[in-house]
Amino acid sequence: GSPCLFPLQLFSLCWVLSVAQSKTVRYSTFEEDAPGTVIGTLAEDLHMKVSGDTSFRLMKQFNSSLLQVREGDGQLTVGDAGLDRERLCGQAPQCVLAFDVVSFSQEQFRLVHVEVEVRDINDHAPRFPRAQIPVEVSEGAAVGTRIPLEVPVDEDVGANGLQSVRLAEPHSPFRVELQTRADGAQCADLVLLQELDRESQAAYSLELVAQDGGRPPRSATAALSVRVLDANDHSPAFPQGAVAEVELAEDAPVGSLLLDLDAADPDEGPNGDVVFSFGARTPPEARRLFRLDPRSGRLTLAGPVDYERQDTYELDVRAQDRGPGPRASTCKVIVRIRDVNDNAPDITITPLAAPGAPAASPFAAAVAAAVAALGGADATSPTAPGTPEAGAVSLVPEGAARESLVALVSTSDRDSGANGQVRCALYGHEHFRLQPAYAGSYLVVTAASLDRERIAEYNLTLVAEDRGAPPLRTVRPYTVRVSDENDNAPLFTRPVYEVSVRENNPPGAYLATVAARDPDLGRNGQVTYRLLEAEVGRAGGSVSTYVSVDPATGAIYALRSFDYETLRQ
């Protein structure tokens, strides 16, 4: 007999996902711009050639009611909800909406980081906390004495925010000074310009005017009632003076002593008996974190502080005697929090495709998977590929080319300075590497061709470490599974099968079984058998008229009775 060969041809189409260098684009727009207002067009500003299959999409979940991206050319417009700077950013000096957009076509995949600054407009007028503001001042108060006032509130920022507070009366023994503190908060003081005589005038009825810097400016008024008090000669005096500074490590234990504010009053009896309290300008958060002993003036830590949440606190401490017509003085205590390396870096892994998702062979499917991996989930799918999970797993076809995108890795650290600077590394196998994308973000890409039959699964490790002393690190396991492609042809277990059969055999007689193996999976590894057409003997006749082969098992059967004398020729 002669060997029977059964060739199998495989046609495959490979699509390569090309990752272009990331870009950052910055725009600005004013709050309250009408929905649909055009902010900019990414395709124009990046000088991109837009073809019919080019598409722009948001890379991760973003409130599309604020900003919208047109798919065809990346035009950014104000969303239906509009932009309210005060609602988005409060009193922050700068309001920036940051998000990522991916553009892709049949030839290119581009990652674009977009920052839109929302600029303030003068849409709020200043307002006083109340219409009637009472204050008291001793007739013995020295010229230059400052009495804290309740500060008007203006929700706008910058030039549109509160700029001045003044008295409407041009001639009075007082003036109002508005100052901005180191933490950005504003404070207003009523400053005494000349000595007072309660016997000649016991009270003053004045009008406060608050005005912002908008064009045109907005203003508000409130009535100020000043009561002049009679009594004692001396006010409590702080040994630290009007301002005291103290540094506190963020890991200091509760109960730590910050400062001993032992203000003294040389008066006798109740006039020299001093009571300490926080002033009206001390915010509620500071009152919760710091404790002031009302009798001793000892300032201690009452709760844990966190440098990453707030690094400076300003406390107004008031010392007041208990005499009739008590006198008081204030000391501003500035508490500066010192950062310690108490936060390990965070790692977020967003796989290209989730386990169980079909491997994408067309380019469009590959790009769609990449968009999903970067946060653009399919609205019709309850669990779209690319959802970050604790045990991150990517599914990559074994035919993926070098530099194919596998996952997006994002790192962050809530510490500051060197404690918050993060470096990231990928360990486990040289077939994959990290490629920097933009600040704190990396792309996991293939560094070599993959072969599922050699390595079906890679167990990798991502390590993020800050630059603190000592450094803190976070270790995350990460798995890449290689999906099968039909890249192996079946191979027979023997190159030649020889079978002996007696002549005059009955038709249908079993002759032999051939066997071939294919290391691929599923349908790619399922082998089907058939006969190659050939002439048999001098009498001619196709081999398929003499024998048949079972396509599933490879079993060969005689179709007719063989005649030795005829076939021998």
Residue 174: band (very low, low, confident or very high) from pLDDT cuts 50, 70, 90: very high
**Domain match, 158 and 251 both:** no
Residue 288: band (very low, low, confident or very high) from pLDDT cuts 50, 70, 90: very high
Q: What is the pLDDT of residues 488-541, one digit of tens each?
A: 789 998 999 999 899 889 999 999 999 989 887 878 888 889 998 888 766 667
**Domain match, 395 and 500 both:** no
**Domain match, 418 and 439 both:** yes
From 100, 121, 142, give the residue that closes a domain: 121
Q: Looking at residues 327-341, what average pLDDT do you find?
A: 90
Lowest mean pLDDT among 16-20, 71-75, 388-392, 413-417: 16-20
pLDDT reported for residue 146: 93
CB distance 476 to 349 below 8 Å:
yes
Q: Which residues of 296-316 are buried (b: 16+ CB within 10 A; e: fewer)?
A: ebebebbeebebbeebebbbb
Residue 205: band (very low, low, confident or very high) from pLDDT cuts 50, 70, 90: very high
Check whether 448 has a pLDDT greater than 80: yes
Check whether 10 has a pLDDT greater than 50: no
**Domain match, 465 and 547 both:** no
- The answer to whether position 7 is within a domain reads no
Q: Domain holding 70: CATH number? A: 2.60.40.60
Check whether 382 has a pLDDT greater than 70: no
From 81, 99, 121, give the residue that closes a domain: 121
Residue 15: band (very low, low, confident or very high) from pLDDT cuts 50, 70, 90: very low
Q: Looking at residues 190-205, what average pLDDT do you find?
A: 88
Place of tokens 């508005």: 178
CB distance 197 to 293 below 8 Å:
no
Check whether 59 has a pLDDT greater than 70: yes
Our CA angle for 143, 194, 274, nearest 5°, is 40
Phi, psi (degrees; rounded to nearest 5) at 551: -65, -25
- Measure the CA–CA gap between 83 and 480, rounded to whole angstroms: 42
Check whether 88 has a pLDDT greater than 50: yes
- Measure the CA–CA gap between 483 and 103, rounded to whole angstroms: 26
Residue 197 CA from chain centroid, whole number: 61
- Measure the CA–CA gap between 538 and 516, rounded to whole angstroms: 31
Residue 472 CA from chain centroid, whole number: 20
pLDDT reported for residue 353: 52
Q: How many other CB atoms are found less than 10 A from the CB of residue 564? A: 10
pLDDT reported for residue 287: 94
Count of structural domains within the chain = 5
**Domain match, 182 and 128 both:** yes
Residue 451: band (very low, low, confident or very high) from pLDDT cuts 50, 70, 90: confident
Place of tokens 């996902």: 17
From 487, 514, 529, give the residue that closes a domain: 487
Domain interval for residue 452: 341-487
Check whether 4 has a pLDDT greater than 80: no
Residue 61: band (very low, low, confident or very high) from pLDDT cuts 50, 70, 90: low
60 contact partners, CB below 8 Å, separation of at least 6: 99, 100, 374, 375, 376
Q: Looking at residues 401-424, what average pLDDT do you find?
A: 87
- Measure the CA–CA gap between 335 and 258, rounded to whole angstroms: 8
Check whether 366 has a pLDDT greater than 60: no
CB distance 405 to 19 below 8 Å:
yes
Q: What is the biggest distance separating any 2 CA atoms in the chain, rounded to whole angstroms?
A: 149
Going from the C-alpha of 456 to that of each of 451, 495, 512, 519, 521, the distances in angstroms are 7, 29, 35, 12, 11
Q: Looking at residues 380-406, what average pLDDT do you find?
A: 67
- The answer to whether position 4 is within a domain reads no
- Measure the CA–CA gap between 467 and 344, rounded to whole angstroms: 10
Highest mean pLDDT: which range of 9-18, 95-104, 110-119, 291-300: 291-300
Check whether 37 has a pLDDT greater than 90: no
Please report, as a single letter, which amino acid is at residue 497: Y
pLDDT above 70 covers a percentage of the chain that reads 87
pLDDT reported for residue 388: 45
**Domain match, 511 and 406 both:** no
- The answer to whether position 2 is within a domain reads no
Check whether 94 has a pLDDT greater than 70: yes
pLDDT reported for residue 539: 62
Q: Which residue has the higher pLDDT, 486 or 410?
A: 410
Check whether 204 has a pLDDT greater than 90: yes
CB distance 380 to 345 below 8 Å:
no
172 contact partners, CB below 8 Å, separation of at least 6: 193, 204, 206
**Domain match, 260 and 369 both:** no
**Domain match, 397 and 317 both:** no
- The answer to whether position 8 is within a domain reads no
**Domain match, 392 and 361 both:** yes
Q: Is the dihedral of CA 81, 82, 87, 88 positive or negative?
A: positive
Q: Of 357, 361, 251, 347, which is closest to residue 307 (Cα–Cα)?
A: 251
**Domain match, 346 and 470 both:** yes
Q: Which residue has the higher pLDDT, 225 or 387?
A: 225
Check whether 359 has a pLDDT greater than 80: no
Q: What's the mean per-residue pLDDT of the chain?
A: 82
Q: Looking at residues 379-398, what average pLDDT do you find?
A: 57
Lowest mean pLDDT among 93-97, 164-168, 383-387, 434-438: 383-387
Lowest mean pLDDT among 92-106, 131-145, 248-262, 459-473: 92-106
Check whether 385 has a pLDDT greater than 70: no
**Domain match, 512 and 469 both:** no
Check whether 86 has a pLDDT greater than 80: no
Strand order in the sheet with 422-427: 393-397, 473-483, 457-466, 422-427
Beta-strand relationship, 555-558 and 346-351 = unpaired
Peptide bond preceding 470 in cis form (omega within 30 of 0): yes
